[in-house]
Structure 1
Amino acid sequence: MDTRRTTVVAEPAWQVSLIWVGFPVVGGVGLWLLKLAAKWILSLPFVPFDGPLRLLNVVPEPWGTVGVIAIGAVLGLVVSFIAAHERLSVAVRDDNAVFYRGGKSRTFDRTKISGVFLDGKDLVLLGLHSEELARDKSDLIAENIANAFQSHGYPWLEDGDPHRADYRRWIEGNPELPQGADQIFKARAEALRNLDQEDAAELREELTRMGLAVREDKKKRQFWRHTTPR
């Protein structure tokens, strides 16, 4: 087994370039259009937060337009940095898989992985007891992910989650849940509402240690199933 061979899956270069160029352009043009419309907006009977709109017309031209476009571009660039920080890439080897995101890496031993699949945009690694070792959202191309894991002999589950039918919606007070799970579910629900993905991921790991697999839908509703023999 050649453990040195590595297949890297990352977002294509054109997509990365589009993010770095597109967000600053959209930010600059968007703020410029807002400046053009500022006088008309201020003429309306009720305009909340009219202070920032008035500031758009304080600086004399052409510096007002140049400044607005520059500020919009900088804001767009900040969004690009955030997107780059949150971007997922995966390095697949015969003996392990490494997930990279936000300057951090997580390594998963091949011998502890029983299946790999995509659940929508979520890349999921299943453990030996049906637990989810990882569930990471990304914009990676599905075919590239599948080819990378299959080329290194990982069990790729073409039909998706084999345990999907086992999930039940979380409702506080369910006697089948372990003691203390409700408190973690409630904290995780708050993290999901606040779009705090890092905290939500950490709380998912706590539930995993309790023998639960957790997923949520587009409405942020949480669903769970048991992973270890009860």
Structure 2
Amino acid sequence: MNHGMEYSDLGLSASDRILIWAVPPLLGAVVGWFIPAIADWATGLAWVPFQGPLELIASIQGPWVVIVTAILGLLAGMVLSHIAIKESLAVRLSDQEIRLRMHDAEQTFTRDEVSAVFLDGKQLVLLWRDHDPFADHYVRWVADSPELTPSLNALFLAREKAMENEDKEDAADLRRELSKLGITVRDDGKRQYWRQHGQRPYRP
């Protein structure tokens, strides 16, 4: 039961799913259709590997061959689409909780358990209130920080002003811009702390 909570679903959209289900099978069928011709052509090139399987395919004659290989390519594409959908992470957000689902497993974290949710490169990171696994890697940002480029310092400065003006939308947008440039930002009040993407978390 969701107790009347409204959720925002993140992850693959309906159009994304249609593309995933349509494109790989279609490409697989097209490639499969041309496999006999490709095999026949490749057997004349000594430098092409897998000559044995290619010669076997090229030796099979008949108009039905391209139909069979096209069907096999279609099936291979469908398997790939199924794996892509199955391996995708589904995220449901509300003002009370976050739900993560992959395969048949689902985990729910309440608002009280999580202090922040953000992307670190392609990874979704949840920070717990009692412990931040990346805590030892964060550095407090100060104006003209020598570890950062002038453009990164400019983004931090703009974000500092947005936070002072309580412009949450602009601050969030600047956080995303910094993330695109490889920087993860954590706030402590109006103080900004940062680290580079890809750093390993501290494990006690």
TM-score (norm 1): 0.57
1:18-167 matched pairs, under 5 angstroms = 18-128=19-129, 129-131=131-133, 158=173, 159=175, 160=179, 161-162=184-185, 165-166=194-195
Q: Is the 8 A contact 2:37 2:58 kept in 1?
A: no
Give the whole-Å Cα distance in 2 for the aligned partners of 1:166 and 1:46: 48
RMSD: 2.6
Q: In the TM superposition, what is the alpha-carbon distance from 1:42 to its structure 2 partner?
A: 0.6
Structure 1: gaps spanning 5 or more residues: 133-155, 168-214, 217-222
How many equivalent pairs are there?
151
- Residues 166 and 87 from structure 1, CA distance in 2 versus in 1: closer, same or farther, beyond 3 angstroms? closer
SS at match of 1:11: coil
Structure 2: gaps spanning 5 or more residues: 135-170, 187-192
1:120-160 alpha-carbon deviations (Å, 9 max, x no partner): 3322211112237xxxxxxxxxxxxxxxxxxxxxxx95515
Matched, 1:224 2:185: no
1:159-179 alpha-carbon deviations (Å, 9 max, x no partner): 152268456xxxxxxxxxxxx
Give the whole-Å Cα distance in 2 for the aligned partners of 1:131 and 1:3: 33
User: 1:7: which partner in 2?
Assistant: 8
Give the fraction of aligned pairs with identical amino acids, expressed as a percent. Answer: 30
- Residues 166 and 17 from structure 1, CA distance in 2 versus in 1: closer, same or farther, beyond 3 angstroms? closer
Q: Is the 8 A contact 2:32 2:71 kept in 1?
A: no
Considering only CA atoms, is the larger Rg found in Structure 1 or Structure 2? Answer: 2
User: 2:154: which partner in 1?
Assistant: none
| Runs ≥4 residues deviating over 4 A | 163-167
TM-score (norm 2): 0.64
Give the whole-Å Cα distance in 2 for the aligned partners of 1:121 and 1:130: 19
